[in-house]
Structure 1
Amino acid sequence: MAISTNSDRQIQELQTLIKGIDYGMLTTVNDDGSLHSCPMHSIDELDTDGTLWFFTSANSHRVSEIEHNQQVNVSFTSSQNQRYISISGTAQLLQDREKMAELWKPELQTWFSQGLNEPDLALLKVSIKQADYWDSRSSYHPQHINLS
């Protein structure tokens, strides 16, 4: 898929905004329609097509929620830098061992003690549709990025 220059610039801006933020809050939709959030260790990189990646256990509650409703939100905060990012998109579970090896970082061993050999290790692929952010450069006036 070819991405326009404007999309490239927006993805680079979003990459700069989330760089250095170790955790994001992933919000999924429960079966009853209520929202459920949990912290996720950030890979700290966006793919050039606007994709976020998170490691997870394939049998986790968040995965079953995503199987029923792929709509998610991921929020990142750096209060020290006065930076706040809210990302909306869709998520899907992947068990691609090659992609896992590419994205693996040693600090993930804290949650997955067997590393890449963890039996139910999986990836959540979050395809970004839009993002809103506030930072000290924008004087807290919200900025909007639309990638859909």
Structure 2
Amino acid sequence: MTENTSDSSLQSRRETVHEIIGRASIAMLTTRTASGSLHARPLAIVTRDSEPSALYFFTGHPSEKTDELAAFPLVNVSISESKGYLSLTGSASVTRDAALIDELWNPGAEAWFEGGKIDPSVALIRVDLAAAEYWDTDKPAIAKAVEFVRGLTSDHEPDMGEHGTVTL
């Protein structure tokens, strides 16, 4: 699907992406390894209202993933939650900005770092989002199942909700 460039449509698509992000708590961050293969891992999503086109993830640094990001900063972030799915592309960087770590610190991060937010291994992965492909549905699970079965048993494509792409 191509992106509709009218201002209201573009804004609506971006809002859909941000709504799906806001409903999710975990994302799969996919990096490229030194051998060129892809490596995905689940990480807790952290956002800032002041940066709608950036996602953050707490991480230990140095680590395999931060080494991968230093070599190949282009990443994919995939999100699945009960009412939608996202495939996000962007460029990642690692920061140890103490003020930012303090601002974004949360109980979930506390579980991973023995020394708390002053643990010397605490860092943030920042993903500057470039584009998103989304699937958004407000249908209950049973309605989605019926649509899926309908698609299997007829020549009608299932209506699984809204689908689109958008630059961020």
TM-score by length of 1: 0.85
CA contact (8 A) 2:13 2:164 kept: no
Report how many residues are paired: 142
State the 1:82 CA deviation: 3.4
TM-score by length of 2: 0.75
Match of 1:76 in 2: 79
Match of 2:106 in 1: 105
The secondary structure found in structure 1 opposite 2:120 is coil
1:143 aligns with 2:164: yes
Match of 2:56 in 1: 53
> Closer, same or farther in 2 for the Cα pair 1:7/1:71, shift >3 Å?
same
1:14 aligns with 2:17: yes
State how far apart, in whole Å, the 1-side matches of 2:53 and 2:104 are. Answer: 15
Q: Provide Cα deviations, 1:30-73, integer angstroms capped at 9, x if missing partner.
A: 11111001110111556435011111111110100001000101
Match of 1:33 among 29, 33, 36: 36
Match of 1:95 in 2: 96
Q: Provide Cα deviations, 1:104-129, integer angstroms capped at 9, x if missing partner.
A: 11221111122111111111110001
From the CA coordinates, give the structure whose radius of gyration is larger. Answer: 2
State the 1:5 CA deviation: 8.1
> Closer, same or farther in 2 for the Cα pair 1:21/1:44, shift >3 Å?
farther
State the 1:145 CA deviation: 1.2
Q: Provide Cα deviations, 1:11-48, integer angstroms capped at 9, x if missing partner.
A: 43322111131110000001111100111011155643
CA contact (8 A) 1:27 1:73 kept: yes
1:122-141 counterparts in 2 under 5 A? 122-137=123-138, 139-140=160-161
Letter in 2 for 1:22: S
Match of 2:148 in 1: none
C-alpha RMSD of matched pairs (Å): 2.2
CA contact (8 A) 2:13 2:165 kept: no
5+ residue gaps, structure 2, are 1-6, 139-158
5+ residue gaps, structure 1, are none
> Closer, same or farther in 2 for the Cα pair 1:11/1:135, shift >3 Å?
closer
State how far apart, in whole Å, the 2-side matches of 1:127 and 1:12 are. Answer: 17
